[in-house]
Amino acid sequence: MTSIPLQELPEHKGKVVGQSPWKNVSQETIQAFADATGDHQWIHVDVERARKEAPWGAPVAHGFLTLSLIPQLNQQAVTITGPVATINYGMNKVRLPAAVKSGSDIRSTVELLDVQDVDDKRVLATYRTTIEIKGEDKPAVVAENLAMYVKP
């Protein structure tokens, strides 16, 4: 994991600042997400049908499940030291180029695109997070995510 002091963050603009370890996306995780969100589409939760009828030959994770793993993965990739709080400020752009099959391993690569002082207490960072699927050519997610850092 990379650790970067907030005051040094601008020096890393345009660079990859971290990469998470691999995380398995199990069928149990997919089922829990389906239960939490009410999205029980068969391509996610009907293992036998998905193996026979889905284009991937397996059940797949919800795109929003994969997207929701960005905070967990990115916290394992890079830590910004110094702020009293880090706020998920949203997304600028999200694409889901490939599905994550049940049982696949994923990881995030985090690139710092921009850093701006909002005022004397807040710094807004724009990251490009790419979630890679082990053994696959296309990523599962490419997103511009925003983090607001609050200075002490």
- Give the integer Cα–Cα distance in Å for 36 and 45: 13
CATH 1.10.620.20 fits 2-24+61-150, yes or no: no
Give me the mean pLDDT over the 21-43 stretch: 98
Q: How is residue 128 written in tokens? A: 């490009």
Domain ranges of the chain: 2-24+61-150
Backbone angle region of 90, left / alpha / beta, with phi > 0 → left and psi within -120 to 50 → alpha: left
Is residue 127 pLDDT above 90, yes or no? yes
Give me the mean pLDDT over the 8-19 stretch: 98
- Give the integer Cα–Cα distance in Å for 86 and 74: 12
- Give the integer Cα–Cα distance in Å for 83 and 28: 35
